[in-house]
A and B are shown apart, each in its own frame.
Chain A
């Protein structure tokens, strides 16, 4: 019979809207307004999953987001999502859910053997067993992953759309229960901008699961209606605060269309990620009931008392016909009376001996039996409960004895008290203190972080009665509004009972006939990570006494629920073992996210093409048309090589490299960093920034410069040209452009503010085509009005003119060692320049080349690439570039560091060429030069290869590298030992492999 646990009437469900869904392939029905959890419970489905470590049968514990057990694989294919909590999934028609962590199926689980060998799986088992040897970890890991994994990640691309939004408000209210609604309405009435977030589908908080007075219901209805209509209020239902960051910056995930089912969101996103900056925050996050830790308290059917209440009141589901309520406080009596009123046979087992007369009388009226000073000593049944045994507690609560009463039941509704949800206050940097009256941690407002002004109100502040919640909410709403400059006039409140948790007498660990850890029974406190009281005892015996050690040793509180139901019990049990007070053991630190969130929500719109912006040069379209293969250089897309039909990369690069030295090549050099430097002190400034001299550089002349940091290490290089006495055009490496501009600004603004110098990035204002090769002059002359003769336009100078009518600055500088011109035109002419030169270059065998060829031909000349041949530990002297370091300047950045003992010592790695004995062998970049070859590492390293290529122009392989004392070792043979064990010999040479005299460049 379907939905046999559904009540005839009552609840916030719509019995006219029947919904069909499947769980593990079987079809069930529920109603609109159900969660997956309530619908399963209505159908009498109590076994919902297997536990993480022992594969024990598990069912629902809770009705809210704290649920540790009922984790579902939701939907199939691309829409599938693992580890969703059945209690948070709003039912929709056609929903498909599958249980997790069982194989081959839920009823017969192979992994349940773990339960039988539990003696060998104590806390710290994984930690101890798989620590060493590290090599075996890889073997074990596969086994563990299969045996212990929870859900399965989707393997297909996410078909959903996610959005993100910023919001700013005066008052952010977290939680729309009585306290939150009172706070929000008070603040909103003052005119303050208010945002209310709540994780549930409708406002009401804990009241959704409670019986309410008509007066309260009316107030809530009016309050919600008024908030919803207010222009200064944003109500965000189905929205979970995931993180509370500094200066009241909070993030939240709104599940916009999840509840409609996969692919049914229309033009709305599936989820929206909110980034909210609030002047004041009111935390009204409520509290979470915690379980009692008793023998086999994880059997399906053992639930939290308030969950039983919620399923009855909100969903019209009676979880079972025979219910035992097990408690150490007053609040569960409400559950007992409510369940009895809905036809259940109810027994209350209270660990306390003295209970108020009023409570006892109310049970009598409801025909509920009461055991005082008793405890459940065992639970019978494994995939469900059929009975419990109840025995009398000793006076100290450490043992049970006397007559054992057997009570038949399907459900145990238990309550160990209420834990304020201090997660948000804790995330905001506030400290907690222990309140003995409620046996729980509450916010210590004297230890809040001042940059995060907030108020904790209601149950999350340890005030459990509705009356207190309303009063605290109104006060905080008024105070928060006042702090934002608004004046609040509190409205009228409904009169409500002074309900709440009432009296509590803690019993952190419920004894059974055997001592904890002996016998077959297990006392769970952390259900999701399968951690028991015996594990805490073991941790204590092995010296893991503080909460941080306890957590890591037992994994308690480290599952996806972050120990919402378990943390306090674990702390308290450890405190009892140590004979300490609970605060001495410590409190746990709560970290974002409050509940798990999807990567989709975090990513928002920034996925696919929008994940990272690409930078394109003005010639990009031509490169695409000409078949370039692109390389990522920073954010730039640069042509890597231009393969012709049938060519692979190697063939293309060999052809391009050869052409550069035989005819002429053309490179898109637009990505080079370009900085315009102006001001009367510009030359003085460059004197400090670069190692060489700049004051005497003539107008129209170019000079290569090295930049050092204050450690004396090379950090960028480039050619800078003097355009006028007070005007320079600096170039930097492609990757260093932003860093160098920042570096210049830092010195100008912080150290030399009196210098009259202005720096402007002009990287994107200029498009650059570099012509390199013996026929470059002929080609340039054929399209330009510039006199390109060697006398009129010498090496390292700049001329202005036109190229095919385009205004241009042409720099005669060379990164290939060939005759070369770098043609700069305003960016908008870049493509036209490129296309014009390609056409005009045909008679000169012009060849397009990419970054790979650029690397090969510069290496043939021993030109360094900063960041490839240098690594931040290399001085100009190490690079054999002392020719560029001024001996006459009093100071420049990094100069003093040359005299440091380390930088000036003998035997530093120095820049050399390397020629393998076998000219066909191309060394891998990064290969190590070793002092002595051994069978296996470690071996003493003397240096490494920084650049290595097959050079068509040298006719063999070439390499550059750093070698200890390398400048004195030219002619020596060194040995390289590769990762695969190969040993290669190479000769140490000068790094310039072509045209040592430099005649080609100057010709």
Chain B
């Protein structure tokens, strides 16, 4: 079970959080002008990598704030947690 560093509360147990998939996917503007493929890309397609993943978390049983995390999906090592809207932190070169 992870320990997650909520940007607002600090380190807490994973049971207080829920994960909501890939981060940094903005909802498109003027959705009516999108092709089916573009809309489908937004609602259905995610990268699902084995390795470094920028993803959304919410401190559901805590401050209820949403934030982003950089996690290695193969090892579950979390390299960074950061506020929504902040730029992606760089992935470390060497990671396990």
Contacts and interface: CB of A to CB of B under 8 A. Distances in A.
A900 B32 contact: no
A278 B33 CA distance: 54
A710 B32 contact: no
Interface stretch (A183-191, A241-249, A972-980): A241-249
Nearest to A166: B13
Interface in B23-43: 26-27, 30-32, 34, 36, 39-40, 42-43
Given A751-B26, A890-B32, A449 B3 contact: no
A890 B36 CA distance: 17
Given A246-B2, A451-B77, A896 B65 contact: no
A899 B42 CA distance: 15
B48 interface: no
B58 A891 contact: no
A449 B26 CA distance: 33
Given A247-B2, A890-B30, A891-B32, 5 more contacts: A277-B3, A745-B58, A745-B64, A750-B66, A900-B36
B31 A896 contact: yes
A753 B75 contact: no
B60 A246 contact: no
Interface size band for B: 20 to 34
5 contacts: A277-B3, A450-B77, A451-B75, A751-B27, A899-B36
Nearest to B32: A896
B79 to A, nearest CB: 11
A900 B39 contact: yes
A897 B43 contact: yes
A895 B66 CA distance: 25
Given A742-B58, A753-B84, A896-B31, A247 B66 contact: no
B16 interface: no
A749 interface: yes
Contact of B1 (A247, A450, A751): A247
A746 interface: yes
Interface string A873-905: 000000000000000001100011101110000
B3 A247 contact: yes
A657 B34 CA distance: 49
B52 to A, nearest CB: 14
Interface in A439-490: 449-451
A449 B32 contact: no
A711 interface: yes
B53 interface: no
Interface string B51-84: 0000010101000111000000001110000001
Contact of B75 (A245, A450, A711): A450
A890 B32 CA distance: 8
A745 to B, nearest CB: 6
B36 A901 contact: yes
A745 B1 contact: no
A545 to B, nearest CB: 26
Nearest to B43: A710
A753 B39 CA distance: 22
Contacts of A895: 31-32
A745 B2 CA distance: 24
B84 A749 contact: yes
Given A710-B43, A900-B39, A746 B66 contact: yes
Contacts of B2: 246-247
A429 B84 CA distance: 31
Contacts of B3: 247, 277
Given A247-B2, A710-B43, A896-B32, A750 B56 contact: yes
A736 to B, nearest CB: 16
Contacts of B77: 449-451
A451 B3 CA distance: 10
Interface in A746-789: 746, 749-751, 753
B36 A450 contact: no
Q: Which 3 A-B pairs have the closest CB atoms?
A: A896-B31, A749-B66, A249-B1
B46 interface: no
A710 B20 CA distance: 15
Given A247-B1, A710-B43, A900-B39, A449 B66 contact: no
A673 B92 CA distance: 44
A904 to B, nearest CB: 10
Contacts of B1: 245-247, 249
A742 B58 CA distance: 9
Contacts, number: 61
Nearest to B33: A896
B67 to A, nearest CB: 9
A247 B13 CA distance: 10
B85 interface: yes
Interface of A: 245-247, 249, 277, 429, 449-451, 710-711, 742, 745-746, 749-751, 753, 890-891, 895-897, 899-901
Contacts of A710: 42-43
Nearest to A893: B27
A746 B36 contact: no
A245 B76 CA distance: 11
A890 B33 CA distance: 11
Instruction: Name, among A277, A745, A896, A897, the residue most crowded by chain B CB atoms within 10 Å (CB to CB).
Output: A896
B53 to A, nearest CB: 15
B96 interface: yes
Contacts of B76: 246-247, 449, 451
A897 B20 CA distance: 21
B31 A749 contact: no
A327 to B, nearest CB: 41
Instruction: Name, among A746, A749, A901, the residue most crowded by chain B CB atoms within 10 Å (CB to CB).
Output: A749
A613 to B, nearest CB: 14
Contacts of B27: 751
Contacts of B75: 429, 449-451
B28 to A, nearest CB: 8
Contacts of B34: 896
B32 A749 contact: no
Contacts of A890: 30, 32
A547 B70 CA distance: 35
A521 to B, nearest CB: 47
Instruction: Name, among B42, B60, B77, the residue most crowded by chain A CB atoms within 10 Å (CB to CB).
Output: B77
Nearest to B44: A711
Contact of B66 (A249, A711, A745): A745
A749 B20 CA distance: 13
Contacts of A900: 36, 39-40
A751 to B, nearest CB: 5
Interface string B1-24: 111000000000000000010000
B7 to A, nearest CB: 12
A796 B60 CA distance: 34
B21 to A, nearest CB: 11
Instruction: Name, among A451, A751, A890, the residue most crowded by chain B CB atoms within 10 Å (CB to CB).
Output: A451
A746 B34 CA distance: 23
Contact of B60 (A249, A742, A901): A742
A890 B29 CA distance: 10
A449 B96 contact: yes
Nearest to A745: B64
B54 to A, nearest CB: 13
Contacts of B36: 899-901
Contacts of A711: 43
A710 B96 CA distance: 36
A710 B44 CA distance: 10
A900 B43 CA distance: 12
B96 to A, nearest CB: 5
B32 to A, nearest CB: 7
Nearest to A450: B96
A246 B2 CA distance: 6
A751 B32 CA distance: 18
Instruction: Name, among A711, A897, A901, the residue most crowded by chain B CB atoms within 10 Å (CB to CB).
Output: A897
A551 to B, nearest CB: 24
Contacts of A451: 75-77
A277 B13 CA distance: 10
Contacts of B66: 745-746, 749-750
Contacts of B40: 900
